[in-house]
Amino acid sequence: MICKLKPKGIEELNATNILPQTPFWGRIKKDQGFIPTAFELTVSRNLLQGDAESLSKEGEDLLVLIRYINHDTCYAYVPYGPKLEPDFENQGLFLEQISETIKPHLPTNCIFIRYDLIWQNQWSAEKEYFDQNGNWIGPPQSNTQEFRVNYKTYNWNLKKSSSDILPKNTFFLDLTRSEEDLMSNMRYNTRYNVRKALKNGIQVREYGLEQIGSWYTLYRDTALRHGMPLQDESYFSSILKNQDNHKRGVTIKMLMAEKDGEILASMFLVLSGQRATYLYGASSSGRGNMVASYALQWESIRVAKQWGCTEYDMFGSAPNLNPNHPLHGVHIYKKGFGGDLFHRMGCWDYPYQHELYNQFRFQELNMMN
């Protein structure tokens, strides 16, 4: 046995820190038109580590989402999975084995499978991909990435996706630190703004569906201000309605920073396993919203720590300090809280039907331009 899959129910997925690999995420995506499926994955340890004993095994659960492109074709998408992370030189072979093993369990008209890999980006571990100021300059061109990742594979079939879906770059905060350490580890301006907000009487409270309209007003204002694509209000209602409401599952906290009855900033804090995730944030365009967002983020960190989480995922930033990057301002804001920047591998495709895959890829590239 090198790789084995056993179908299981979505609600049978085990609790995990990886939010997009939870039953909650499957329910959310079902509401968006995906067909969620789940598997129990077991692999030989030597598929993960070249020097491991072949008889030993590792296992995990795997959430796979099916999305129809049209009536005749679909693709499979694995959000932030697989969770098992092989050695760099085994990553391609591992994905190839899973792709071939899962193929009989997918619709016959599935033209490719896309992995949104949570693994550390291979090129972020190499000094030559950092500039003299310590900023990561990013991975090489796609063909160079493909050459390395396909090393050791039999079919040489893995392709770097033309686009990425979930955030590739993020800041992680270590919540095992004391509140005093977390505060002292912030950049000076961030710490100053947190204290200023608290001194000015900004309070953070948790609300439920009764305030979803207030959240959406802030969110819509923020999205339009920054030229972001808009979700509708029902999507955010679905997030709150689909939470598990028990400690082993996913808990959502909609937090709002306010002063004198005016809501200045709000966010969705998601608690899954021992990880907290800053999933969505929004703020007003009026005065005071900036320091309010700092108070909101600090209270969110405190809530996550009290909940028992050991890490806090800021969920998205620019890969470096390039001022021209569209997420530069987000990067500066999140960096201020003192976390460690982590670079993921992003999306990789394994085509089953090459001609149809190439057509899809061409259409996807045209939509991006």
Q: Is the predicted pLDDT of residue 106 greater than 70, yes or no?
A: yes
Confidence of residue 287 (pLDDT cuts 50, 70, 90): low
Summarised one tens digit per residue, pLDDT across range 180-197 is 999 999 999 999 999 999
Confidence of residue 369 (pLDDT cuts 50, 70, 90): low
Per-residue confidence (pLDDT) for residue 275, from 0 to 100: 97
Q: Is the predicted pLDDT of residue 173 greater than 90, yes or no?
A: yes
When pLDDT is averaged across residues 289-296 and rounded to a whole number, the result is 87
Complete domains list, the chain, with CATH: 3-166+345-368 (3.40.630.30), 176-309 (3.40.630.30)
Confidence of residue 45 (pLDDT cuts 50, 70, 90): confident
Per-residue confidence (pLDDT) for residue 166, from 0 to 100: 96
Q: Is the predicted pLDDT of residue 216 greater than 80, yes or no?
A: yes
When pLDDT is averaged across residues 107-126 and rounded to a whole number, the result is 97
Summarised one tens digit per residue, pLDDT across range 245-277 is 777 799 999 999 999 889 999 999 999 999 999
* AA letter at 137: I
Summarised one tens digit per residue, pLDDT across range 306-351 is 999 999 999 999 999 999 998 999 999 999 999 999 999 999 999 9
When pLDDT is averaged across residues 123-144 and rounded to a whole number, the result is 94
Per-residue confidence (pLDDT) for residue 289, from 0 to 100: 63
Closest Cα partner for 267 from 289, 245, 234? 289
Per-residue confidence (pLDDT) for residue 252, from 0 to 100: 96
Per-residue confidence (pLDDT) for residue 285, from 0 to 100: 79
What whole-number percentage of the chain has pLDDT above 90? 84
Per-residue confidence (pLDDT) for residue 316, from 0 to 100: 92
Q: Is the predicted pLDDT of residue 56 greater than 70, yes or no?
A: no
Whole-angstrom CA distances from 206 to 212, 252, 257, 319 are 12, 10, 9, 31
Confidence of residue 42 (pLDDT cuts 50, 70, 90): very high
Which is higher by pLDDT, 48 or 26?
26
When pLDDT is averaged across residues 139-144 and rounded to a whole number, the result is 96
